[in-house]
Structure 1
């Protein structure tokens, strides 16, 4: 068991949220029990995850996508009221870290996603150095863009969206999990042969065809299932707390 303040300090020390210009507050978003015994980690602070955390008898939830974002109207109605009511009724702390969780060099979303694919990060690129890029490994799973698509679909257990030529060779692979469509052009400038992220918007298909760089969108949720559980498990072990990752399926 540990204190809420000690847990917050541990997360902040690991993730350094002060370094990032972000779209919402990082850290403790909803205050719950002062004493911490069990952390449930997940991707998004959805009602389904909160309900699962209640069932798991957790006093803390750790997520990548929290409740509060820049541009919200601030009204506690509808889905916001329902989620907050559950957290407050059960005295559950909600910790959320967005870009700091993407960026951590070992435990973050991008680092863990790269590990799942067997990629060793060589350098960063893009705004706030959130993009990762690596030399293509010399094995069968990376023989060409088509082989990479098959590897991704097997690892993530879902189809991906691919724009490019599947027989094209790969020299460098760039990736940035989640909704990182804007990192495609910086990835091209960094010399990538293929770029992997969670989502695709209309312009990226044209860029891929015109620049000869393959684009793979493998799902926002699917690409960001790894960082929250890695960070929460690390801190839980450090503070001798129970931890459970709960994945709430999402087709997006």
Structure 2
């Protein structure tokens, strides 16, 4: 009986030990599963955050590029608007506003340096006949060709401007004596009167040029332009390819004609 009881007690203790071992293993397994589940959740959370961060960075880069593009387009548009505000749309020459500014600056420099400048008011001969015979499209191309020749005929420090229609104004700074000025005017007229080949058509025109000189004929922009304009009309009355330098007699005659 004693031995049986002892054997039975040992068996019971073994069974109890087995149960505790199994229970411990079960708890360990469940704990491991919980840990794995938590790790998996943390990994998924980290991966999701990283993906969101990458997407946010990409969105930021795209937004930065778009902002830069918008800024560049605005800068280009601003530059184009400034250019259009200061240049003739057909010939790309400076317009009246820019010409007036340049004459004003040239006058200040001439006063400082005690030099002289000339304003040439140029009107094309036979331009109306070109428009009437070949159409305004041909006339526009002729004006563009004239503008290109004028730019090539003067120095980089001078200015060629279109006033409108077939009228142009040239600003010649730091001119020499009267003989030198007359030679320059004749050279310009020769360049303008050379034949033009436009759309397989030879076109010949001339020019009438009126000239005013600072400081003899005026000390401000509008006076110099006005005097050159008066002289140009007198040159035109004398025939094709003529020029006239303003003088008081011309001014007095034009004033008398208005009385």
Structures share fold, TM-score greater than 0.5: no
Query: Structure 2 length as normaliser, TM-score?
Result: 0.25
Bigger RCO of structures 1 and 2 (CA < 8 A, at least 6 apart): 1
- Structure 1 or 2: larger strand share? 1
Pair member with larger Rg: 2
TM-score, normalization: structure 1?
0.25
Higher helix share: 2
